[in-house]
Amino acid sequence: MAGSKLLVYLLRRDLRVSDNPIFHHLATTKDHGFTHVLPIYVFPHHQIEIGGLLKDGEQSPYPQALSQVAGFWRCGPHRAKFVAESVWDVKKTLESLGSTLVIRAGKTADVLDNIIKSFGEQGQQVSDVWMTAEKSFEELREEEEVDAVCKKNGTGFKLWADEKYFVDDRDTGLEKPSDLPDVFTSYRKNQEPLRERPRPVLPLPEKGVLPGVPESIPPQPHPFVEATRLDDLEQRLLSPLTTMLPEPPAYPEGAESAHPLKGGETNAHDRLRYLITSGGMTSYKETRNGLVGVEFSTKLSAYLALGCISARQVHKELKDLEDGTNPDYASANGYGEGENEGTKGVRFELLWRDYMRLCTRKFGSRLFRLSGFRQDESYNKKWKTPRKDAAHQDQSPAPEEVNRVLQRFLEGTTGQGLIDASQRELFHTGYTSNRARQNVASFLAKHMSIDWRYGAEWYEMHLVDYDVSSNWSNWQYVAGVGNDPRGDARIFNPVKQAFDYDKEGVYVKTWVPEVRDLESLENIFQPCTAKQADLERIGLAEHKMVTDPIKRIDFTLDRKPKGPRKSFPRKRGQGRGGRGGGSNGQGSDGSNSGGSGGNAKVQQNGRPGGNNGNGHQQGAFRGRGQRFQYNTHTPNGGYTHPPNHNGYGGHMYPQQQPQYPDVWYGNGFNDNSNMRGRGSNGYRGRGGWRGNAAYNQPRGYDYGG
């Protein structure tokens, strides 16, 4: 086609048409020189399983999309559906503007090479290829491969800055990735005031202003087929995905998803407007730690992860509310009253997402290392693993037993109500709250001492809002190997957390129906504490959550104060009290948002003692007048209270008590038993632990998963 100049735009995690720098440039720049533009989205073979898009009887040229350590699917059914909806929404929006989106599957570089060659055979040359830059390890590798294809074919290549973040990378003041502070608080202070930081939003292109699409578009390369309808695309993406659980939990009667939202830019903006008009943004600080229902939290994370909406678009709507400049929000709570605690909290979380991504840029493949971001060569913590080839020589229990226990953790039958409810909710809906995620991560990494990457990969598979930086950085943070200044000292007590955030037991009873007929919260949160008669009455006496709980934490709650309370001055701690850990902290800088009142005693391993935390010092539980006793069985046989455990006292018992088995580094999955109950056959078939690379090898592009 003489005189034509074709641009190929490869979309990845920029699945929006508004506030899109490339579409904006093409729509507003008269001398860009392109006669045609072809937007393309490629379902990447290494991150989402595309076997369902194969022609009948054909074999894929690519390995299955499995995770490196555990062999889980890289993308499970919940996110696969959400991604398909988001891609299709871009396609429909572009078609309404006179353009389109071509959908392909495979390796991006292979698809592009086929496109360039096919157009060449038609007499039309692809002049340039554009895409927005991503800073995670696999995406950087993908960009290098695309660049190589372009050079081989004499095609221009340009990477654009992706502008979906809260503070534009060009405005952070960081000259190079290593300039990023290792502690979030330092970075936040450098960026404040946050309300003034984002750049203006780019408008949606008008109809007919984008360059047209080529008259003839090359077909999907062999051996894959092209889905022509959204329902067909969804079915093909979901069809190869197995559950990865030999005994998956049944969906509880009456349970409803807290994230029933559909993907796409259109739905993202609908959700954002609803949050403002309903008052959800103004009340965000009070509701963000909820567990049940659609109303708690913003539920914008899945849209932000795929670039269906940009952080600065969220910021703009917040400013319209605060400044009273959008009449559509006139009836909303907080209209025209300036920044409030809720809108301030949303900006805080948007900056946290930015920070996690900047950590990915700074630390690179260390995002996936067992030793985490900042650990040097002297790091020698011995994590437990179900893999024989990766277990250290003196690991106890053996990998087979770790596999059995890990299986229980994944299926949600640990005997810890909050953990089990969260795991089942995640499995069935693709979502679980931020508060629950922190507890689950802490339970696996701190209480069980199991390689935290199994949890991170399980979340990668199931989360509808999975984001590589947010997921892996937050798992590192809670596991104590990331950028939490307190490291191993931050431990969640899931029983106390359940009392604080599931005050009526509604959440646990919703997702763990076996305990619905129990009356006491102590029993609901730990069914092994119920009386035998009650367990027999509801048919739970022989359930493994009762006979063989993975870990038991003795906990009693007495709501009557036993004496006067001495007040202490508030002392703000380092970091984020409500992000990676802490018992009650919800605010920034370790500030207290505490739990409800009452006296409590927590005994782990059956040992009394501990510090009576009352007040707000960092060395005390930051609840409102709660009294705690918490002991941990440590590797050296003692019972210690590290002073920074957010209230875990300071007493130490040097002698080892023989009645407490020294397993799992003393943190025992069941401190009062010898791991009774039948063993598990473990994962079979596609559920096997199939890491195809060295156990502690940095995650790479072509590790076969």
CA separation for the pair 345, 318 (Å, rounded): 11
DSSP-assigned beta bridge partners for residue 126: 6
Q: Which burial class, exposed, middle or buried, applies to 617 when counting CB atoms under 10 A from its CB (0-12, 13-18, 19+)?
A: middle
Own/partner contacts of 297-300, CB < 8 Å, gap of 24 or more, are 297/433, 297/434, 298/271, 298/346, 299/258, 299/259, 299/261, 299/271, 300/268, 300/271, 300/272, 300/275
Residues 6+ apart with CB under 8 A from 458: 70, 72, 410
Helix or strand holding residue 558 (H, E)? strand 553-558
Q: Which two tokens stand for residue 43?
A: 């379902």
C-alpha 241 chain-centroid distance: 20
Residue 359 region by backbone torsions, left for phi larger than 0, else alpha for psi between -120 and 50, else beta: alpha
Q: What SS3 state is found at 554?
A: strand
Return the structure tokens found at 20: 């899109």
Cβ contact 258:294 at 8 Å = yes
Residues 98-135, buried b or exposed e (16+ Cβ, 10 A)? Answer: ebbbbbbbbbbbbbbbbbbebbeeeebebbbbbbbebb
Q: Identify which of 663, 190, 180, 200 has the alpha carbon closest to the alpha carbon of residue 397.
A: 663
284 is in an annotated binding site: yes
Strand-pair category, 553-558 with 599-604: antiparallel
Q: Which of 524, 514, 511, 501 is nearest to 257 (CA)?
A: 511
| 466 annotated ligand-binding residue | yes
Q: Are 149 and 112 in contact (CB under 8 A)?
A: yes
Is 507 annotated as belonging to a binding site?
Answer: no
Alpha-carbon distance values, 450 to 147, 158, 201, 401, 456 (Å): 40, 43, 44, 12, 12
Q: Which of 424, 427, 422, 425 is nearest to 441 (CA)?
A: 422
Contact present, 418 and 425 (Cβ < 8 Å): no
41: exposed, middle or buried (Cβ count in 10 Å: 0-12, 13-18, 19+): buried
Q: Is the dihedral of CA 628, 292, 347, 22 positive or negative?
A: positive
DSSP characters over 445-473: IIIS-B-THHHHHHHHHH-TT--HHHHHH
Q: Which residues contact 607 (CB under 8 A, 6 or more apart)?
A: 631, 633, 639, 653, 657
Q: Is 301 annotated in some ligand binding site?
A: yes
Contact 483, 359 (CB under 8 A): yes
80 close to 105: Cβ distance less than 8 angstroms: no
Q: Is 266 annotated as a binding residue?
A: no
**H-type alpha helices, 209-264:** 230-238
Q: Is 110 helix (H, G, I), strand (E, B) or coil?
A: helix
Helix H or strand E segment including 104? strand 102-106
Task: Copy the structure tokens of residue 399.
Answer: 């990998």
Among residues 667, 455, 635, the alpha carbon closest in space to that of 551 is found at 667
Q: How far apart are CA 433 and CA 456, in angstroms?
A: 15
431 is annotated as contributing to ligand binding: no
Which of 614, 616, 666 shows the shortest CA–CA distance to 639? 666
CA 358/CA 365 separation, integer angstroms: 13
Q: Is 467 annotated as a binding residue?
A: yes
Write out the binding residues for FAD: 284, 297-301, 465-467
Write out the binding residues: 284, 297-301, 465-467
